[in-house]
């Protein structure tokens, strides 16, 4: 029952980004406008509870800190706001963050400890923002070198210090975002031992060019996966120096998510989430998680068919532009919905078609296992 994908249709236009709260009862969505809508779950439907209006250009990214219940949004207007819920009046209050960037902000994510966040931008830099108690203010420190173009995606390492960034200069990089006074010295990892702020711990390219749409650390943080506009998925293990690029037969992936240390999903212009699996450190495409069956028309009589052919010149009811997949347009964001970072049991995907779909992985793993036997 719960194994079927759950489709949430909002019909308010393309979804550019989304984020759930901790217990998944509230959902922040942007429909390609300057407004963020927060919905509350009501049975099987979603009711608008709040609208966050403060940006004046389209919102590009939202992240919801689960434990501290704070929302951060960033926008093409070059600003980011941290929103906190005032418990007395039950309203979200914005606090402006000083990003000091001169181009659009493209992507934002809270660090795992939720004590800082990173904002990517078209100004060829990443702002690492943290709260300064003395001034009661969120301030940002820039990572600039050696980024040569717009940063499109970010992902935090579980140690709260390292940050991966995918950029339009065809490179995925790993930086140290160590902030004195906020972070404790991290344990040595394959990415390095001494990590002052801004250290470049790794720089990778997929070999064929194509800007990097999405980056993701493995659950233990010892591997990095990234997808590019050249329809490749690359997985890097700095410990062994192994770099593997998989040339996918499908259209480029815009977002990826590790389900566990040996499985990840990627979705994008193909409108379906694709599963990749590792055997040791060797990755390969496993399956599409969307069964992609054309909906069968029920109760269609010959008379209906002829009438339709007569009036619309079509032999079937569904028009030809309908895709066989659940999403009818590009998937632009895939996020964990249920489970822990090393064992995601459900994930959500949002798309330009205005749908948000929740997929169960229990179903998938069983399905694949059956295929093998």
Partner 1 sequence: MSKPNFRKIDIDALEEDAFSLEELEQEIGETRPRHEVEALVGSRAQEVRSLLQRGNIGAALAKSLEDPPYGRDFDAAKERNTQTVMDVLNSTKSSDVPQLVKELNPVDQDVLMKYLYKGMASPEQYNSGVLLAWYEKLFEVAGQGCIVRVITDRRTV
The least CB distance from residue 335 to partner 1, in Å, is 24
Alpha helices in 273-358 (DSSP H): 302-312
State which residue, 65 or 233, has the beta carbon closest to partner 1: 233
Alpha helices in 154-256 (DSSP H): none
The least CB distance from residue 209 to partner 1, in Å, is 5
Compute the half-sphere exposure of residue 103: CA atoms within 13 Å on the CB side of its CA.
Answer: 14
Does 149 contact partner 1 by CB under 8 A? yes
Distance, in Å, from the CA atom of 208 to the CA atom of 223, rounded to the nearest integer, reads 21
DSSP annotation string for 344-364: EEEEEEEETTSEEEEEEHHHH
The least CB distance from residue 252 to partner 1, in Å, is 6
Task: Report the residue from 12, 25, 91, 208 that binds partner 1 according to the rule CB under 8 A.
Answer: 208
The least CB distance from residue 98 to partner 1, in Å, is 22
Query: What would the x/- binding string for partner 1 be over residues 93 to 132, using CB under 8 A?
Result: -------------------------------x--------
Query: What would the x/- binding string for partner 1 be over residues 235 to 274, using CB under 8 A?
Result: ------------xxxxxx----------------------
DSSP annotation string for 232-278: EEEEEETTTTEEEEEE-SSSPEEEEEEEETTEEEEEETTSS-EEEEE
Q: Which stretch binds partner 1 (CB under 8 A): 32-40, 79-87, 181-189, 230-238?
A: 230-238
The least CB distance from residue 15 to partner 1, in Å, is 24
Residue whose structure tokens are 């702002």: 127
Task: Report the residue from 58, 112, 192, 210 that binds partner 1 according to the rule CB under 8 A.
Answer: 210
Alpha helices in the chain (DSSP H): 302-312, 361-372
Q: How far is CA 229 from CA 68, 208, 211, 257, in A?
A: 35, 10, 5, 17
Does 288 contact partner 1 by CB under 8 A? no
Residue whose structure tokens are 């593997």: 244
The least CB distance from residue 284 to partner 1, in Å, is 12
Interface residues with partner 1 (CB under 8 A) are 124, 148-149, 169-170, 208-210, 228-232, 247-252
């Amino acid at each position: 029952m719960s194994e079927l994908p759950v489709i949430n249709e909002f019909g308010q236009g393309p979804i550019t980004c989304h984020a759930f709260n901790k217990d998944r009862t509230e959902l922040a969505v942007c429909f390609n406008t300057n407004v963020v809508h927060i919905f509350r779950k009501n049975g099987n439907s979603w009711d608008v509870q709040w609208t966050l209006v403060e940006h004046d250009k389209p919102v590009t990214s939202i992240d919801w800190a689960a434990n501290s219940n704070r929302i951060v949004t960033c926008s093409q207007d070059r600003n980011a706001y941290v929103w906190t819920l005032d418990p007395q009046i039950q309203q979200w209050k914005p606090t402006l963050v000083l990003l000091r960037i001169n181009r659009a902000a493209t992507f934002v994510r809270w660090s795992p400890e939720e004590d800082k966040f990173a904002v990517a931008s078209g100004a060829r830099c990443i702002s690492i923002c943290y709260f300064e108690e003395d001034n009661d203010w969120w301030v940002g420190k820039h990572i600039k070198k050696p980024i040569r173009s717009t940063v499109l995606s970010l992902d935090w390492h579980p140690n709260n210090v390292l940050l991966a960034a995918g950029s339009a200069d065809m490179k995925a990089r790993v930086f140290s975002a160590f902030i004195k006074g906020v972070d404790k010295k991290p344990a040595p990892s394959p990415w390095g031992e001494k990590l002052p702020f801004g250290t470049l711990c790794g720089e990778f390219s997929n070999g064929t060019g194509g800007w990097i749409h999405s980056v993701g650390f493995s659950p233990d943080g010892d591997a990095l996966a990234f997808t590019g506009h050249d329809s490749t998925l690359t997985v890097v293990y700095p410990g062994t120096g192994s770099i593997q690029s998989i040339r996918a037969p499908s259209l480029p992936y815009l977002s990826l998510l590790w389900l566990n240390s040996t499985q990840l999903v990627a979705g994008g212009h193909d409108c379906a989430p694709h599963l990749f699996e590792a055997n040791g450190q060797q990755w390969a495409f496993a399956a599409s998680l969307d069964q992609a069956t054309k909906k069968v028309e029920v109760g269609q009589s010959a008379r209906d068919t002829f009438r339709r052919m007569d009036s619309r010149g079509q032999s079937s009811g569904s028009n030809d532009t309908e895709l066989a997949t659940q999403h009818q347009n590009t998937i632009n964001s895939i996020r964990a919905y249920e489970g822990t970072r090393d064992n995601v049991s459900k994930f959500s995907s949002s798309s330009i078609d205005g749908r948000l779909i929740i997929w169960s992985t229990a179903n998938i793993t069983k399905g694949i296992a059956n295929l093998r036997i």
